[in-house]
Structure 1
Amino acid sequence: MEIKGFVQGGIASIIAASTTHPLDLIKVRMQLQGENHYLPSLRPTLAFQTTTMASTPPPRLGPVAVGIEIARREGVAALYSGISASILRQAVYSTTCLGLYDVLKKKWSDPNTENISLPRKFAIGMISGGIGAVVGNPADVAMVRMQADGRLPPWRRRNYSSVFDAIARIVKQEGVISLWRGSHLTVKRAMLVAASQLASYDQIKETILKNGLMKEGPGTHVTASLAAGFVAAVASTPVDVIKTRVMNMKAAGEKRVAAPTYSGAFDCLVKTVRSEGFMALYKGFVPTISRQGPYTVVLFVTLEQVRKLLKDYSF
């Protein structure tokens, strides 16, 4: 099996993730907004703080305000919290996902025309995304926790120094299985994102070229990427919110926590909707689409350029 598709996908995804990481961090912080107020287990234990939080809900901040607040309270460098985990995640998850998508597309395409139907593209995207998510979940858990850490009071922070420190401490304190906490959600989200993003990009690009709307080149790649990013954001945000909260919750006995915040994904879904309303499932949608658009554009434009550079090489 050729590994060229894996290499191309890995390079493009690492560049894309590094470029858009601050937007991803803002998205995670927005997804966790409101959790401290509505869930008693997450409130500070000091009496005067508990009373204040119980009576006054925290203000809901938009993406720009969240970004400014992070920079003001934690420093500009905090916008890149968890970047090591993000790079490792891309090196594992996205490399696997994009590489498998490329391999399966070649195997499942019509040998005479090299065309492949949209349903097959979605199926390939779901398979590739699901497998990639399984192998990339440990880095995903570490990334979510590192991105969320700064919002907590000092006495509750985990203060991981790097993705490898995070993974080592999670294994030591919570067991190896905790590295796959929320993996069923990660897999579902990845299947939705990969199917909608990869299949949409391919289909929209093919439609543009087939109808002569634009010629092959950066303009077509950017247009198809933006459309694919929007489709992926709409499809994946609710699962992403629940995934973020489940991955970020503290385990029983970890830093003054008597019991886990949620018993599982369904419990998290119920508590979130009951306490904060259905639209809480779309918390962070603006930074998600703001990040998904640029990320998808950088990903596919870079991928197309890497493919050009490596087209004469076989490996």
Structure 2
Amino acid sequence: MDWKPFAVAIMDAQFVQGGLASMIAGYATHPLDLIKVRMQLQGEVAAVTSLAYALEGKPVRIAMPRIGPVGMCMNVVQTEGIRALYSGVSASVLRQFLYSSTRIGLYEHLKMQWRDPRQQQQQGTGLPLVKKVTAALLAGAAGAAVGNPADLAMVRMQADGRLPSHLRRNYKSVTDALVRMVRQDGLKSLWRGSATTVTRAMLVTAAQLATYDQITEAITLHKLVPQGLATQVVASCSAGVLASMVATPVDVVKTRVMNQRIRAGEPPPYTGALDCAFKTVRSEGPMALYKGFIPTVTRQGPFAIVMFLSLEQMRKILQNF
């Protein structure tokens, strides 16, 4: 039996290509994502640790120094081992499979549906920037809704090592995390923080995918750099930086809402995204919303490069298959 036509048909789907490219990029840049999450939660570490001592009858206020990305990386390696940099990687890969395959596939589908063949000969995609952004916003929202459970598991697994040993969740894998969350808090808990996740995904997808297409078309039209790898790298880096700038504040709030520990009979630390943002700014200052920006932008650049290069190579291989 000839499997070639079947393989081409499957791989030719934009959903599959986008998912595979993002899984590769997510795995490659996971340590930077973990460092970002740890930095975003720095302001909460002292409070959580102090609470733990208070519950033991030791009302001690812990003041922990805030460290940068390099210091955070060294701290993780020294206290938890080098393998800890890949804590939650199974959830990260699942998240990319669900989230990115949906958003990239839907974005490409909407572009195909909305394009103007007459403009395509001049502009590359035949789609104005406004329509690209609209397609990206819709695609990002859909991807976030699908991928929120894996995103929640990933954040918790990445953040677990920073807690005192008796407060850690100690998930064995993404499957274990999802099963335990459903058992303990119900099925709806898998979509905790989904409003913030959707908002972030819409911003990231618009800044990433629409920007990549727009910059690629501008570079090609004006012949600013040689076509091929150079164009892809410049467009990827630009998209990554812009995505980091617009998404970091929402990402900080999302991380804190997802990671909050809700105790039976007690009100949750945050009642929602706005409450979290307000409390964060009030207690730590407005720049707290940009915690983890350096590892975020450091990750977004390589992530975008690996993802878009992988995507372009898949398309090129399929064209010659």
Query: Normalising TM by the smaller chain, what interval?
Result: over 0.9
Q: After superposition, where does 1:232-247 map in structure 2 within 5 Å?
A: 232-247=243-258
Distance 1:88 1:240 in 2: 19
Matching residue of 1:157: 168
1:36/1:42 contact within 8 Å kept: no
**Are 1:68 and 2:74 matched, yes or no?**
yes
Return 5+ residue gaps in structure 1 as ranges: none
2:45/2:162 contact within 8 Å kept: no
TM-score (structure 2 length as normaliser): 0.92
Change (3 A) 1:41 1:189: farther
| SS of match in other structure, 1:236 | helix
Matching residue of 2:23: 14
Q: Which amino acid aligns with 1:218?
A: L
Residue 4 of structure 1: how far off its partner (Å): 1.4
Residue 310 of structure 1: how far off its partner (Å): 1.5
Aligned residues: 306
| SS of match in other structure, 2:119 | coil
Matching residue of 2:155: 144
Q: After superposition, where does 1:178-197 map in structure 2 within 5 Å?
A: 178-197=189-208
| SS of match in other structure, 1:159 | coil
**Are 1:198 and 2:206 matched, yes or no?**
no
Distance 1:259 1:43 in 2: 17
**Are 1:87 and 2:97 matched, yes or no?**
no
**Are 1:46 and 2:56 matched, yes or no?**
yes
**For residues 59-80 of structure 1, what are the alpha-carbon distances to aligned partners after superposition, in whole Å with 9 as ceiling and x for unaligned?**
1100000000001000000000
Q: 2:42 aligns with which of 33, 41, 44?
A: 33
Residue 196 of structure 1: how far off its partner (Å): 0.7
1:226/1:293 contact within 8 Å kept: yes
Distance 1:312 1:113 in 2: 26
Return 5+ residue gaps in structure 2 as ranges: 1-8, 121-125
Matching residue of 1:249: 260
Residue 38 of structure 1: how far off its partner (Å): 4.8
Distance 1:40 1:287 in 2: 24
| SS of match in other structure, 1:289 | helix
Change (3 A) 1:42 1:31: farther
Matching residue of 1:291: 299
Distance 1:168 1:78 in 2: 22
2:50/2:60 contact within 8 Å kept: no
Matching residue of 1:225: 236
Distance 2:226 2:317 in 1: 19
Residue 41 of structure 1: how far off its partner (Å): 8.1
**Are 1:259 and 2:267 matched, yes or no?**
yes
Sequence identity (%): 55
| SS of match in other structure, 1:262 | coil
Distance 2:61 2:187 in 1: 38
Q: Which runs of 4+ in 1 moved over 4 A?
A: 38-43
**For residues 69-93 of structure 1, what are the alpha-carbon distances to aligned partners after superposition, in whole Å with 9 as ceiling and x for unaligned?**
0010000000000000000001100
| SS of match in other structure, 1:34 | helix
Distance 2:227 2:318 in 1: 18
Q: After superposition, where does 1:98-117 map in structure 2 within 5 Å?
A: 98-114=104-120, 115-117=126-128
Root-mean-square deviation (CA, aligned residues, Å) is 1.7
Q: 2:279 aligns with which of 271, 277, 284?
A: 271
1:38/1:275 contact within 8 Å kept: no
